[in-house]
A and B are shown apart, each in its own frame.
Chain A
């Protein structure tokens, strides 16, 4: 491999991605916990008429590491042994960070050292002594600042460096030179890590986020966005109306105004929720939540690190699947992925609100019952399939810090851009296709039927037993497999009110909360764990959705809504208990056969 490539390597949470974003002017995700970067990122940088590829790699604690994200770095280093490596260490943790540095330099990698000034200072004399000792270029400064100085150091010192520096250096020799000030623990941790108060604070924080996003500020902003969008669309429609382009008017009213508008209206709510979650990540609060809830998560076959996948999964299930790479235990990783569809992504929550407003006629308590039922199903399911073997758990808990305003602003911009891209791309395309299918008619046995009618007449046979034999419902569930946002936009194409009773409406919402994640999330799970797992994830969620919808609809129609919920709880409890006992018997039988043999 040519040496026009620079790899950025180091322990987790030292500022590698911050450095990468600074020198390449990118916006890769950063946060204050280990395991944020789970895949490599590559960009080309030009400086003084030269170009170089810069690669940001996931953090690595040691070359003995087994985590999926750390394996990416190990394998990349093995394949790109001739590349220049910039080893990033943070000042406060430099003693710990130097262990991997020593491993890499003695393994013959071409290293330069970037000391990121973070939470502590190192004297310049120590840096000079270290440079003389190691015979490699060293940069000391803030990874977020002085881009030109950093680039000059990269191009003039790092790329021009010949030789590998001093080999056979010992860890103790390096540590003797460095004089790092000991940092005291933060006082706020006494409250945040308290076994009772800490957990109460967590639930208050989550409740506050949901209140801000979906009930107060978020709701008000959402209504404003929709009303302005409506005004804008009506203005354009009024201009076209005079030209009597009725098909175009219908497209504008149905697809653009209602379809796109109904999705765009959720932008403020999603923005507030995701920004709040990002503040939690950036501050270093999430690892504290992992510490507090690790034992509770163990009872579900998960561990504290599952928190990161779950919190990111609340934004996007696909990203949540990738975030599980920081979990070393493969069974726990898969278990976390199986949980993600139950938690729901940022698209599912607005759907819940939209449908509860339009279908449940103000019976908001039903939303709480649906959510409680879904959570109960998730817990029972996780407990029935969990691996009971004990495992080691160790996780670095970073210092708390105030989120950087510049980074928050950048992250907010990315959130809005990604959302608008999705709306302008996938949602607009799917809504347009559905609208076309609603307006193209075919003669069948003397009847003029639209493509949607033909399709839903066939597929409707499957949905009749669960009370969802409704064109809008069927089409929305199908388009929802591509992206969950399409559910609202497709329903909006049919106008408000689906003509369904209360029982069918609750069944519909329950089905949405349980059915398969979107195709990109399924595909990502397939890439991470194989095609079998991808298929299993799809089938399991469809079985949950259909069986629960069937049980609920059947009993709710006969005996009332509350009875429907109760029967669902009893049914799922018995079903999971049966599955658990059958699988236990199979394991015992297998072990007996093996022992007998």
Chain B
């Protein structure tokens, strides 16, 4: 399941990002394998995602790189 395909507010588990050059950069934000992230809101082409106590705006182009597993809490 891709992050940008998910609708609504859900808690997800982030699997490994396959793009190596992006992986290092995103890990500094807390986007690492096994991280829990919550989709706060969506608008066209963008979404707000919460990781730990920080909120990030990411575009769909980036969200397509995330492989996620949905957890129903």
The answer to whether A290 and B57 touch across the interface, beta carbons within 8 angstroms, is yes
Set of chain B residues within 8 Å of A193, measured between Cβ atoms: 40-41, 43, 48
CB distance from B25 to the nearest CB of A (A): 6
Kindly list chain A residues whose C-beta atoms are within 8 Å of the C-beta of B28: 61-62, 64-65, 96, 99-100
User: Taking CB as reference atom, which chain B residue is nearest A295?
Assistant: B45
Choose from B22, B46, B55, B56 the contact partner of A295 (Cβ within 8 Å): B46
Interface residues of B in 36-60 (CB under 8 A from A): 40-41, 43-46, 48, 50-59
CA distance A47 to B25 in the complex (A): 39
Please determine whether B53 and A294 come into contact, CB atoms closer than 8 angstroms: no
User: In the complex, how many angstroms separate the beta carbon of B20 from the nearest chain A beta carbon?
Assistant: 11
Residues of B within 8 A of A120 (CB): 53
Q: How far is the CB of A285 from chain B (nearest CB, A)?
A: 13
Question: Is A291 a contact partner of B54 (Cβ separation < 8 A)?
Answer: no
Q: Are A93 and B57 in contact (CB under 8 A)?
A: no
Assess whether A396 is in contact with B58, with CB atoms less than 8 Å apart: no
Chain B nearest CB from A79 CB (Å) reads: 22
CB distance from B54 to the nearest CB of A (A): 5
Contact yes or no, B24 A395, CB < 8 A:
no
A120–B41 CA distance with the chains assembled, in angstroms: 24
Do B26 and A394 touch (CB < 8 A)?
yes
Contacts of B51 in A (CB 8 A): 96
**CB distance A390 to B30 under 8 Å?**
no
B62 at interface, CB cutoff 8 A? yes
| Chain A positions within 8 Å of B52 at CB level | 93, 95-96
Select B27's contact among A62, A95, A294, A295, beta carbons within 8 Å: A62
In the bound assembly, the distance between CA atoms of A393 and B58 in angstroms comes to: 5
B50: which A residues are within 8 A, CB to CB?
A: 185
Min CB distance A368 to B, Å, is 30
Which one, B29, B44, B55, B57, contacts A195 given CB within 8 A? Answer: B44
Q: Which residues of chain A come closer than 8 Å to B56, judged between CB atoms?
A: 394-397
| One of A99, A298, A393, A399 near B30 (C-beta < 8 A) | A99
Complex CA gap A93/B51 in Å reads 10
Q: Residues of B contacting A467 with CB < 8 Å?
A: none
Which chain A positions have C-beta within 8 A of B45?
A: 294-295, 298
* List of B residues within 8 angstroms of A390 by Cβ: 61
Query: Which of A61, A189, A193, A392 has the most chain B CB atoms closer than 10 A to its own CB?
Result: A392
Q: How far is the CB of A397 from chain B (nearest CB, A)?
A: 5
Q: Please, how many angstroms separate the alpha-carbon atoms of A394 and B19 in the complex?
A: 15
The listed residue with most A CB atoms (<10 A of its CB), out of B41, B51, B52, B57, is B57
CB-nearest residue of chain A to B32: A99
Given A61-B28, A62-B28, A99-B30, decide whether A185 and B55 contact each other with a Cβ distance below 8 A.
yes
Q: Cβ of A291 and Cβ of B24 under 8 Å apart?
A: no
Q: Which residues in chain A, 24-71, are within 8 Å of chain B measured between CB atoms?
A: 61-62, 64-66
Interface hits, A293-340 → B, CB 8 Å = 294-295, 298, 304
- A287 CB-CB contact with B under 8 Å: yes
Instruction: Please give, as numbers and ranges, the residues of chain B lying within 8 Å of A64 by CB-CB distance.
Output: 24-25, 28
Are B58 and A394 in contact, with the CB atoms below 8 A?
Answer: yes
CA–CA, A399 and B55, complex, Å: 8
Residues of A within 8 A of B26 (CB): 394
Can you report 26 A-B residue pairs in the complex whose CB atoms are below 8 A from each other? A61-B25, A62-B28, A65-B25, A65-B28, A96-B53, A99-B30, A189-B41, A287-B57, A291-B43, A291-B48, A295-B43, A295-B44, A295-B45, A391-B61, A392-B58, A392-B61, A393-B57, A393-B59, A393-B62, A394-B56, A394-B62, A397-B48, A397-B55, A397-B56, A397-B57, A399-B55
Q: A65-B28, A395-B56 known; 9 other A-B pairs, CB under 8 Å?
A: A96-B29, A96-B52, A287-B57, A294-B59, A304-B57, A392-B65, A394-B26, A397-B56, A398-B55
